[in-house]
Amino acid sequence: MEGAEEHQIVIVGGGISGLATALALHRKGIKSVVLERGDSLRDEGGAIGILANGWRALDQLGLSVSDHLRQTAVLIQRSLMISLDDGIQKEFPLGVGETRCVKRGYLINALADALPFGTIRFGCSVISIELDSSTSYFPILHLLGGKTIIAKIVIGCDGGRSVIGKFVGLKPIKQFSHSSVRGLTNYPKGHTFKHEFIRWRKNDSSTLIGRIPIDEQYVYWFVAFKSSSPQVEETWKDNQELVREKISELVSVNKFPEEVIEMIKTSEVESISFTHSLKYRAPWDLVFGSFRKGTITVAGDALHVMGPFLGQGGSAGLEDAIVLARRLSKAGLGGEMEDEMMKKRVGEAMDDYIKERRRRLVGLSTQTYVTGMLIQGLPLFVKIFLILVMRVLFRDVSSHSKYDCGRL
């Protein structure tokens, strides 16, 4: 195709999973290019909780990345759920190993800084993809602005509304009836909170608030609440000041503890991020879905967007990166290979990746889904049923953090 750029591996999306995938491939000696539609790296969302499985994956990406991040965030010692309806306080196991909450900007930059210069291309928005009959059905990517890129392999890390996911045949994502607001609060003289992840829950208003310290000065918080109409929430978009004001009102009206109200009121306005109706890929779609077409596959939220109820979406994306790079490297990528042989080997490697990840992701997204449904204000008999499901399927509620994605 005249004028088209050619690359062996193109990763679409420069979020956590796209950057982690590029870095995992780089560590295996495989070159890739990351196409990111934004003009810079996105650190929206303030911070991210990383459980033991996520740290294991980060360690595989290099101790220079993981140890650097460890130094930015305190070790969380325990997790508490406080019900404001009856005052009952319950401790939840954090799982074996470390839990820390890392600023998103630090994570994204640590991954990007470890990549060879020029790997990330900003301002490249992929609008469609097709298989080119004139090049043994390798993928062609069409970019906003008319540019075309021919690739041997495409990995879609383009988030929940993935263009690549749609092409490989994934079903549309679904949404919970809850929206969320996240932010960071800076206590310049230091906060006095223990190193604990605390959630306050109010059933009558279906509101859940979480707070987790990042270091001695910063805390990350989130509020999950029943979505209002899309029209109302549309006015919140791109207006962080308004979102902070509305959320402060919501927590005051619902009489959350004074320290929580104060934390939200005094949060850094530029850190505020609003998600209208949290999204998820239905667990049953992960059981049966097809995640590959030719030499194209998906990873991260593009594959398994899930609610934030277990704090595992980002870590699952890190695991994807390790498993996919390991499989592709075993296929002999990095060396010279005939096109037909490459297609066959890459197809097999991607199938192995999908098989390995499907097992993990079906369990993780089912547990996240059921946990999310339990705060949705459902009829009592449905709640009892879901609690029984949890007891049977997820007796050890923190087992999801014990998972080890293995060596790169």
Ligand X SMILES: Cc1cc2nc3c(=O)[nH]c(=O)nc-3n(C[C@H](O)[C@H](O)[C@H](O)COP(=O)(O)OP(=O)(O)OC[C@H]3O[C@@H](n4cnc5c(N)ncnc54)[C@H](O)[C@@H]3O)c2cc1C
Work out how close the CB of 41 gets to ligand X at its nearest, in angstroms, rounded to a whole number. Answer: 8
Choices 13-21, 246-254, 263-271, 399-407; region in contact with ligand X by CB under 6 A: 13-21
Q: Give whichever of 180 and 366 is closer to ligand X, judged by the CB atom.
A: 180
Choices 11-19, 128-136, 192-200, 349-357; region in contact with ligand X by CB under 6 A: 11-19
Q: Give whichever of 16 and 264 is closer to ligand X, judged by the CB atom.
A: 16
222 is an interface residue for ligand X by CB under 6 A: yes
Q: Give whichever of 138 and 280 is closer to ligand X, judged by the CB atom.
A: 280
Q: Give whichever of 323 and 342 is closer to ligand X, judged by the CB atom.
A: 323
Choices 14-22, 132-140, 236-244, 335-343; region in contact with ligand X by CB under 6 A: 14-22
Q: Give the span between the Cα atoms of 194 and 221, in whole angstroms.
A: 14
15 is an interface residue for ligand X by CB under 6 A: yes
Q: Give the span between the Cα atoms of 201 and 205, in whole angstroms.
A: 9
Dihedral sign computed on CA atoms, order 61, 371, 286, 155 = negative
Work out how close the CB of 222 gets to ligand X at its nearest, in angstroms, rounded to a whole number. Answer: 6
Start-end of H helices in 61-176? 63-70, 104-113, 163-168
Q: Give whichever of 14 and 139 is closer to ligand X, judged by the CB atom.
A: 14
Choices 3-11, 311-319, 332-340, 388-396; region in contact with ligand X by CB under 6 A: 311-319
User: Within a 10 A sphere around the Cβ of 407, how many other Cβ atoms?
Assistant: 9
- Candidates 10, 30, 48, 251: give the one binding ligand X (CB under 6 A): 48
165 is an interface residue for ligand X by CB under 6 A: no
Work out how close the CB of 105 gets to ligand X at its nearest, in angstroms, rounded to a whole number. Answer: 13
Work out how close the CB of 233 gets to ligand X at its nearest, in angstroms, rounded to a whole number. Answer: 14
Binding map of ligand X across residues 273-292, x = CB under 6 A, - = no contact? --x--x--------------
14 is an interface residue for ligand X by CB under 6 A: yes
11 is an interface residue for ligand X by CB under 6 A: no
Choices 186-194, 287-295, 300-308, 392-400; region in contact with ligand X by CB under 6 A: 300-308
- Candidates 11, 12, 364, 370: give the one binding ligand X (CB under 6 A): 12
Q: Give the span between the Cα atoms of 400 and 408, in whole angstroms.
A: 20
Q: Give the span between the Cα atoms of 375 and 398, in whole angstroms.
A: 18
- Candidates 9, 30, 149, 157: give the one binding ligand X (CB under 6 A): 157
Which of 159, 140, 401, 131 minimizes the C-alpha distance to 281? Answer: 159
What tokens were used for 384?
Answer: 């009892």
Q: Give whichever of 108 and 342 is closer to ligand X, judged by the CB atom.
A: 108
- Unique residue bearing structure tokens 């392999």: 153
319 is an interface residue for ligand X by CB under 6 A: no
What tokens were used for 395?
Answer: 């007796």
- Do residues 386 and 373 touch, judged by C-beta distance below 8 A? yes
Which of 176, 173, 175 minimizes the C-alpha distance to 159? Answer: 173
CA dihedral 50, 126, 130, 16 (to 10 degrees): -10
Site residues for ligand X, window 72-131 (CB under 6 A)? 124-126
Task: Kindly report the backbone phi and psi dihedral angles of residue 305, in degrees, each rounded to the nearest multiple of 5, phi listed first.
Answer: -50, 135
- Do residues 405 and 21 touch, judged by C-beta distance below 8 A? no
Start-end of H helices in 75-120? 104-113
312 is an interface residue for ligand X by CB under 6 A: yes
Choices 8-16, 226-234, 321-329, 387-395; region in contact with ligand X by CB under 6 A: 8-16
Q: Give the span between the Cα atoms of 319 and 403, in whole angstroms.
A: 10
What tokens were used for 191?
Answer: 């906060």
Calculate ∠ Cα 17-23-24, nearest 5°.
85
13 is an interface residue for ligand X by CB under 6 A: yes
Residue 389, helix vs strand vs coil: helix
Q: Give whichever of 62 and 307 is closer to ligand X, judged by the CB atom.
A: 307
Cα atoms in the 13 Å half-sphere on the side-chain side of 53:
25
Task: Kindly report the backbone phi and psi dihedral angles of residue 19, in degrees, each rounded to the nearest multiple of 5, phi listed first.
Answer: -70, -40
365 is an interface residue for ligand X by CB under 6 A: no
Instruction: Give me the residues that bind ligand X (CB under 6 A), please.
Output: 12-18, 35-38, 42, 45, 48-49, 124-126, 157-159, 163, 180, 182, 222, 275, 278, 300-301, 308, 311-315, 317
